[in-house]
Amino acid sequence: MNSLSGHNIIIMGGTTGLGLSAAKKLVALGANIVITSRHQANVDAALAQLGPQAKGFAADAATPDAAEHAVAMFERLDALYHVAGGSGRSKGDGALHELTDDGIDYTLDLNLKSVMLSNRAAVRQFMKQGVGGVILNMASVLGWSPSPQYFASHAYAAAKAGIIGFSKSIAAYYAPHNIRVNVIAPALVETPMSKRAAESDEIMTFIKTKQPLDGGRIGLAEDCDAAALMLLSPDSKFITGQVLAVDGGWTVS
């Protein structure tokens, strides 16, 4: 029997891109999932693809109610996969000297505060259940491997670095409770958020050398699935506090 069969898993941001790709794999392996998005239309479209093992609702992940409601949809929670996040460029994120106050607030709320809130809700439930649990957070290689020419989004980088530090800190604190916390850090992946980069011939030429694996290409959502499934499953029961870069070679090129 598959080690994830029958597990109850929340995916914050599970309706598009990386989250939806993982949701499809988890459902195929027999997991029950709850997905969230800020947009009801995205929830409805995803649920139509995922079938009866999936439930979902629309909510802003940067509000406490979102994760708390997700947790309440299961009698028992086994794992949380936090994927929700995104670019703050449209709100004023960018190079530090151009960074707006709104850009700071929006980007940190979307990418860091949302993780802290979902993790808090999950840990409270795991402590209540008393049998441990799993958290997997989504960061980015930009959290420690910057690319100044094309990806100077300094609030975003700060948020993703914050996720790494936060995750390691809570992994250490809650390890005696058998609560595992790990991080996946992708490089440039083809998602709705990466449309600006994916449509730029100049950036795609850069990516050929920056992400040289598999012919030098932009990542695909499914490239992260194997890592996510491993870290969410009981098969990784002796792994916590780790950051796994799924980056096509970004951090070594």
Positions marked active-site: 156
Do 154 and 99 contact (CB within 8 A), yes or no?
Answer: yes
Cα gap 157→89, rounded to integer Å = 12
Number of other CB atoms surrounding residue 121 within 10 Å? 23
Alpha-carbon distance of 247 to 207, in angstroms, equals 11
Largest CA distance in the chain: 54
Beta strands 32-37 and 54-58 are parallel
Q: Are 75 and 53 in contact (CB under 8 A)?
A: no
DSSP string, 42-82: HHHHHHHHH-TTEEEEE--TTSHHHHHHHHHT-SS--EEEE
Contact 223, 25 (CB under 8 A): no
User: Closest by alpha carbon to 189, among 140, 229, 154, 136?
Assistant: 140
Closest CA relative to residue 245, chosen from 169, 147, 138: 138
Indicate the DSSP class of residue 195. H
